[in-house]
Structure 1
Amino acid sequence: MITGLAAGGAEQQLRCLLPHLRARCEVAVLTGHGVVADAIERTGVPIHHIGMRGNRDLRAVGRLARLMRKHRYEVVHAHLYRACVYGRLAARLANVPAIVATEHSIGHEHIEGRRLSRPIRALYLASELLGDLTVAVSPSVADRLSKWGIPRDRIVVIPNGVDRAAFGFDPALRRSTRERLGLAEDAFVIGGVGRLEPGKRFDLLVETLPRLEGAALLLVGSGSCEPRLRELARSLGVERQVIFVGESLDVRGLLSAMDVLAAPSVEETFGLAVVEALACGLPVLYGTCPAIDDLPPGSAPGARRVTQDGLADELEVLAARPPGRLPPPDAVRVYDIRRQAEQLESLYTRLLGAAPMEK
């Protein structure tokens, strides 16, 4: 179960993971529908819409518990804050044998874009006791959970996964995507992928464009900062150089159309877009990315950590001499989605004390 199914990192991760799980799965979503829900339903996985109307809609707990009793689920696995809080309580009320939650988005000061407060932290910690284990998507997240007070023996690190074949560079897709977006074949295209929220700092990419004549910025995602980013582009006279794609499932085509991925986030819990870009052979400039920083040095030679002050200079160098496509590094193989699926199913069967799952 998950809070929503718009095209965010955790939502896309769930969509990509489902085909690789041998267990028979169904999905419950608390709010909204979204493009990811449509994509999941097209694969034949049932989706149950809970219709939650806000953070204080306690009726959602009853609806979830009834759904769980009706279908007699052996495992409930929750993703994102609201789904974790409400889902663990509902699963406990429904006597579900194994209750797991994955923490995708806990930062030092924010969780899923909302500022951390004592009530939010207290509610999270109380609901955590209702589950069996919490999955952290990186060692960095595990450290943050531990500092919150969750015992280490209740935390297991299972990194996010990427299907390498699904993100490989495709020159035909590059041409067709650029043509569809009105981008010249020889244009230098900077990419930004993720929610358009303050912490992603996509404003830094817009501010760089006046220095890069003929360059374009491709922003893939939606969020509260879109109006502000559009106004910033207008004020700098670069509005024609910024393309707001919005939510899209055509990540491979869009990555193929780019020449560099820039991820200047001030805080991340994993950095899935960075790994996907590396799988597509792109050079990457990033501010923080546990997926890369937690690996041994040299695991991702195409990814370079840069300061916010140095980002514009680095982009200027790349624009002058684009490096072309790079071979996918070892980091991409480390985060193979099949490995993630195997680790999750091993966790499920261990909690159930059961034999390995089969379709």
Structure 2
Amino acid sequence: MAGRPRVLLYTGVDAVGGAEVALGNLVGGLGDTYDVHVAGMDEPVVRWLAGHRPGVPYHVTGGGALAHARLLQRLRPDLVQANLEVPWAAPALLGAALALRRPRVVAVQHMAARTVDLPLLLRTRALALRLDGNVAVSADGAKRVEDFYALGRGSVQVIHNGVPVTGRAVPAGRPNRAGQGIVVGCVGRLDPVKGQDVLIDALARLPGVRARLVGSGAQEAALRERAARAGVADRLELTGWTDQVADQLRDVDVYCQPSRYETLGLALIEAMAAGLPCVASAAGGVPELLDGGRCGRLVPAGDAAALAEAIGGLAADLGARERLGRRARYRILAAFTAERMAARYESLWARVLAAPPARRLRPHPPKP
């Protein structure tokens, strides 16, 4: 191929979430080896993504396989990478790319979700078996996708999400802020899987401690009602959604991720990068991120009493907060930066482009 290989990064969503923030971090962390373009069906989203790196072109397409095929024929990418918020997302893009045969095709699995819809499951599996590369953002996520869609062990590789890390960490606490005076932060869409209801129940066991929920979603009214019933409405702040998470963490003392499941947890990575001590559910890829509890407190998912105990212990011990915050930041600097993530994707793309394309019509049988 002449010149730099062209890579098309694709997202099919109409709003920015954690998967898109991770994709934006990738765009910003890439070097000049590849001619990177961004595409999708929502102009504000793709424009926002392209803005992470000066000069990155973006393209907006309509829905359906024909519109996606036209986009690919016009751009003629050497490699297409689809950013999937769930494994069955972007079928039109993946189908069109696989049918054209020219581009190598890679998918990135941000949520290791399963479906009980048999036609949807079979379509998802059929596309996945024909990919040139299939990536999950944690080892737990890779194993689940392999199992849910009968892809075979080792067929999905792991590339952790990363975040830009600049400047110094925020203070992990203030000498005059201890015990009942601390602020607990939590970032994520307001959804039952994110477990904000568990944090509210824990807050009722922590007199004087305040909580800040950053995010939006259908559960906002239910969470406000739950807080009122628990008598903690005056200690709960809901800020709405923002992509400027660092600004919301500046005066937070403890970060909490009470999710019932997280494939990895981008917001948790951002909090760790900020040097905050973290308390999180031992679910999905979170123990992998927190190094088995060495870089943060792990509690059983859905256990408000255990969550309150972990937060309360850190609230009472400024020294422990500072030590845990330092370990968390060092963990991110060592393994979860945007630059490290980008280097791993560039290495994957080089391998995929150098190898023969995956079989499209009759794929190899899954690995046992």
Q: TM-score range by the shorter chain?
A: 0.7 to 0.9
CA distance in 1, matches of 2:153, 2:306: 37
Structure 1 residue 304: Cα displacement: 1.1
Q: How many residues align?
A: 329
Alignment of 1:57-96 (within 5 A): 60-80=64-84, 81=86, 83-96=89-102
Question: Could you say which residue in structure 2 is the equivalent of 1:102?
Answer: 108
Percent identity of the aligned residues? 33
Q: Which amino acid aligns with 1:224?
A: A
Cα distance, 1:296–1:48 mapped onto 2, change above 3 Å: closer
The 5 A counterparts of 1:257-276 are 257-276=251-270
Correspondence for 2:354: 353
What runs of 5+ residues in structure 1 fail to find an aligned partner? 53-59, 176-182, 355-359
Does residue 149 in structure 1 map to residue 159 in structure 2?
no
Structure 2 residue identity aligned to 1:219: L
- Counterparts of 1:217 and 1:37 in 2: how far apart (Å)? 33
What SS does the corresponding residue of 1:196 show, helix, strand or coil?
coil
* Paired letter, 2:44: H
Aligned to 1:57: none
SS at match of 1:327: helix
| Contact 1:195-1:222 at 8 Å conserved across structures | yes
Per-residue deviation, residues 233-286 of structure 1 (Å, max 9, x unmatched): 233333232222222121112222211111111212112222221211111111
Q: Tell me what 1:316 maps to.
A: 312
Match of 1:21 in 2: 30
1:10 match = 19
Whether 1:244 aligns to 2:244 is no
Match of 2:279 in 1: 285
Q: 8 Å contact 2:184–2:253 — kept in the other structure?
A: yes
Match of 2:345 in 1: 344
Name the CA distance, whole Å, in 2 between partners of 1:316 and 1:136.
34
1:127-146 equivalences in 2 (<5 Å) = 127-146=127-146
What is the DSSP-based 3-state SS (H/G/I as helix, E as strand, rest coil) of the residue aligned with 1:203?
A: helix
Q: Which residue of 2 aligns with 1:211?
A: 205
CA displacement, residues 201-238 of structure 1 (integer Å, 9 cap, x when unaligned): 10111223333333221111222211211221233333
Q: Which runs of 5+ in 2 are unaligned?
A: 1-9, 356-368
CA distance in 1, matches of 2:94, 2:353: 16
Please give the alpha-carbon distance, in whole angstroms, between the structure 2 residues aligned to 1:220 and 1:120: 33
2:256 maps to a residue whose letter is: A
Q: TM-score, normalised by structure 1?
A: 0.81
Query: Measured at CA, do residues 116 and 304 of structure 1 come closer, stay the same or move farther in structure 2, by a change above 3 Å?
Result: farther
